[in-house]
Structure 1
Amino acid sequence: MDHEEQPTVTLPGEVRMPLLGFGTWQATGQAGYDAVLAALDAGYRHVDTATMYGNEEEVGRAVQESGLRREDVFLTTKLPPDRVGRERETIEASLTALGTDHVDLWLVHWPPSSPADGIPVWREMLAARDEGLARAVGVSNYSTAQIDELIQATEENPAVNQIRWSPSLYDRQRHREHRDRGVVLEGYSPFKTSDLADPVLTRIAAAHDVSPAQVVLRWHIDHEIVVIPKSVTPDRIRANADIFHFSLTAEEMRDVDALGNP
């Protein structure tokens, strides 16, 4: 896969985020390092980690040892909710572990348990961005109402909201709400809630000579929804990256959408 041709979405500040990323949840230690190295080798140019995953050091080492330039890899990490009030210290620890002076995207991993903390945390995220510690900032697992609260208080939209997403969870209205606010929708766990044996997915897969999993990933890309499949199996890692030689038709897109909006 030629990463130059990989589709990206542009975040505020002209930050280009590849629509395909590599998820690293539960990929720790040597296995985590090996998986990230295999992913970069397979052509992924976007890696998603989090303080909570306990693997930033392995991710950073893999990026450094991949031989790629830092600016060619889009790195995301996340602030855990129990670090409210210690945002600056947390991003600095992440940067040290990752071995870089900035991440491309820093997210609030979950809304803080006390709603009163929501806006102060968001202001700290914005301050880190303004200081160049993160090129863009956003949120994860936020509802549209929670996003609106941040926008109303600061007039600054989260660049991204990373949420659980898949064909069977497709929610046309939620998708539209993100677009209307200029917030990029990023989906995680694309396969966990998908029935890869679903006749709609198997039929479309057969038509393109690909797997149902590849159809699910391509469906995200064709919707301009960022997707971060995770795997530690080299063959699966490669297959998940091999989704740029085909595209779904408008009719196929509607059929897959209908799995979530029957």
Structure 2
Amino acid sequence: MSQVPSITLNNGVEMPQLGFGVWQVPDDEAAKVVATAIESGYRSIDTATLYENERGTGQAVSASGVPREDLFVTTKLWNSEQGHDSTLRAFDASLDRLGLDYVDLYLIHWPVPAKDAYVDTYRALERILSEGRARAIGVSNFLPEHLERLMGETSVVPAVNQIELHPQLQQPESRAFHAEHGIATEAWSPLGQGKGLLEVPTVVAIAQKHGRSAAQVVIRWHLQTGNVVIPKSVTPSRIKENADVFGFELDADDLAAFAALDEGKRLGPNPGEFNAGA
């Protein structure tokens, strides 16, 4: 996994391009699952307050024997805690659950337009950044319109926007906006959900061509597209398999075939309308 490339965020911080997500992993299983991921070579771990597994994630980080500076830990603020002062309190609580002195990346989980608090919330993130308690700050599920407002009313351009992104939802407009403004694109649900995407004949054919699994060629597509990608699994063999994506390369025909799969098809909520926790 020393082969994992890093991307340089807009503030100079290095972030591994391949990481490990822990969405839907119960807290009492998170320590074991994250330990397996770290043993398999992952150095970037993505959690969130909503996932209710920060404690188990932090336990695995602390017990890993890997120097803290060699790990990249992300967590996210939940919607109900948006607002300047409540964000500062929520961040303290996340650090406490993680058992860490700092996180590498802190994200606002959703814009929650009905609450209209993401600008004040982000100003709290700027303070956390200035205090050195997060090495980088950013957002998740923000549309270009949300990002434009945020950049117009705050002083730190988000380092990352983590969005739903997979071959059936390639998000060209968001990716172009991010590239224009120096924001890294990070993909959640990078393999879709369930077996749907991984059974698409085009994906199966590309996998067979390279002697790889369908998941491996989709992860490889993300890497070659320039996305940061955080596949999630609780199965040890699949955790290892998903990390073994550096011994081959997709060619121009493969990339063209993947490009043709985009249906603009969301599996998760529309960020312009999602107001859970408001």
Same fold (TM > 0.5): yes
* Equivalent position of 1:163 in the other structure: 163
Number of equivalences: 260
* Equivalent position of 2:55 in the other structure: 57
Identity over aligned residues, as a percent? 42
Report the TM-score, using the length of structure 2 for normalisation.
0.89
* Equivalent position of 2:172 in the other structure: 172
Query: Residue 179 of structure 1 aligns to which amino acid in structure 2?
Result: A
Distance 2:252 2:129 in 1: 38
Cα separation, partners in 2 of 1:39 and 1:27, compared to 1, 3 Å = same
Q: Tell me the CA shift for residue 78 of structure 1.
A: 0.3
Distance 1:142 1:177 in 2: 11
Q: Contact 1:171–1:261 (CA<8 Å) still a contact in 2?
A: no
SS of the aligned residue for 1:13 comes to coil
SS of the aligned residue for 1:107 comes to strand
Residues 16-95 of structure 1 mapped to structure 2, 5 A cutoff: 16-85=14-83, 86-95=86-95
Which of residues 208, 212, 218 in structure 1 aligns to 2:210? 208
Q: Tell me the CA shift for residue 95 of structure 1.
A: 1.1
Per-residue CA deviations over 1:112-139 (Å, capped at 9, x if unaligned) read: 3445312111111111111111000000
More helix by share: 1
Aligned Cα root-mean-square deviation (Å): 1.5
Query: Residue 172 of structure 1 aligns to which amino acid in structure 2?
Result: P
* Equivalent position of 1:112 in the other structure: 112
Q: Contact 1:150–1:156 (CA<8 Å) still a contact in 2?
A: no
Report the TM-score, using the length of structure 1 for normalisation.
0.95
Q: Contact 1:160–1:184 (CA<8 Å) still a contact in 2?
A: yes
* Equivalent position of 1:235 in the other structure: 237
Distance 2:77 2:171 in 1: 26
Per-residue CA deviations over 1:8-57 (Å, capped at 9, x if unaligned) read: 11113321111111110111233211110000011111000011111111
Q: Which runs of 5+ in 2 are unaligned?
A: 265-278
* Equivalent position of 2:257 in the other structure: 255
Query: Residue 168 of structure 1 aligns to which amino acid in structure 2?
Result: Q
Q: Which moved more, 1:63-72 or 1:155-164?
A: 155-164
Per-residue CA deviations over 1:128-151 (Å, capped at 9, x if unaligned) read: 111111000000111110011101
Residues 115-126 of structure 1 mapped to structure 2, 5 A cutoff: 116-126=116-126
* Equivalent position of 1:96 in the other structure: 96
* Equivalent position of 1:135 in the other structure: 135
Distance 2:79 2:120 in 1: 13
Q: Contact 1:84–1:117 (CA<8 Å) still a contact in 2?
A: yes
